[in-house]
Amino acid sequence: MAFDDLPLHRPPDPPSPRRRREASSSTARWLIVGAGLVVAGSMLALWWLSRAQPPTAIPAPATVNDPNQAARRPPRELLELPSLANSDEMLRALGGQLSRDSLLARLLATRELARTMTLAVVQIGDGRTPAASLGTMRPSIRLETGASGKVEPANFERWESAVRALQSIPPRDAAKVYVNVKPLFDEAYRELGYPQGDFDVAIVKAIRMLNATPEVTGDLVLLRRAGYFEHDSPALRSLPPVQKQLILLGPNHRRRVLSWLQQLAAALELKIDG
C-alpha cells in the first residue's frame, strides 16, 4: 500500500490534522540539502562579490579528478561581505542568474538563508533531521511500501535528482567559496549558542554523524504507527533520526553523498576521521 512519508520518530504530542499533513512529507531529501545548503548559498555570494573582477580573473571550474588541484585549504580573499541580516535579498537576486535549478529556487525563497543553513548543519551534527528549519522543501514522490512494510529499491530513485544536484558542485570549488563567506556562518553559529563561532566545527560534526551511519544488509522494513513510521529492526530504531533517514536514501545515493562530503572535507583540510 502507499503511505505518505513520515518522520522516523515518535512525536512528543498527538499531532493535529495540519501537523500530521506536514509530517507526512519525507525528510530524507532534507539531509542532502542540509549537507549542501551552505555550499549553495556560499557559491551565490562569492559569484556576486567577484562580478567586478575581470573575466580572465575568474578560474574555470575545477574537477574532482584534476591532478593539479592540491588537497589544501584555499586561502581567503579580502572580500567585503554583506551583513548577516541583509544577505537574503542578494542571495535571491543572484540565484536566478547562477542557476535555474528548481531545488535551488525553492531554497532561495527561504527567509534568513544563512541562519537556516547554519541551523540545518547543526541539527544534522546533533543527529536530528532538519525538518523544521527546511520546512519549505517537500519531495514530489511519496514513499511506497508493500503490505509487509518492505521498502522497495525503486523508492530510492526519489532522491536521484537531489543527489545529482549536490554532485554537480565541484567540492574543490565549493571549498574556495566557503572560506570566503565563512564569517557569515560563523556569526550565525555564534547566535545558536556557540561562542567560539567556528563553523568548521559544525561541518565536521555533521559529516562525522552521517559517516557513522551503519551499513544495512537485507530488506528495509518500516512499521506504520499513529502519525509516523519506524524501522522494524530494533538496531535501526535506536539510531539518531538523521541516520535513519540517510539509510532511506538507499545504499548508492548514500555512498555518493558521503563521497562528496569527504571530498569537501579534504579540500578544507577538515579532519573527519576519529
pLDDT tier at 29, thresholds 50, 70, 90: low
* Residue 6 counted as domain residue: no
pLDDT tier at 178, thresholds 50, 70, 90: confident
- Distances in Å between the Cα of 97 and the Cα atoms of 43, 80, 94, 168 are 12, 21, 5, 17
Q: Within a 10 A sphere around the Cβ of 247, how many other Cβ atoms?
A: 21
Whether 49 shows a pLDDT value over 70: the answer reads no
Q: What is the mean pLDDT of the chain?
A: 75
Pick the closest to residue 263 from 161, 175, 168 (CA basis).
175
* Residue 32 counted as domain residue: yes
What count of residues does the chain have? 274
Burial class (CB in 10 A: 0-12, 13-18, 19+), 42: buried
What's the confidence (pLDDT) of residue 217?
A: 85
| Per-residue model confidence as pLDDT tens digits over 3-13 | 334 445 544 55
* Residue 102 counted as domain residue: yes
What's the confidence (pLDDT) of residue 164?
A: 81
* Residue 16 counted as domain residue: no
| Per-residue model confidence as pLDDT tens digits over 243-259 | 999 998 999 999 999 99
* Residue 17 counted as domain residue: no
* Residue 15 counted as domain residue: no
Q: Provide the domain count of the chain.
A: 1
Whether 156 shows a pLDDT value over 80: the answer reads yes
Determine the structural domain holding residue 244 and report its residue range: 24-267
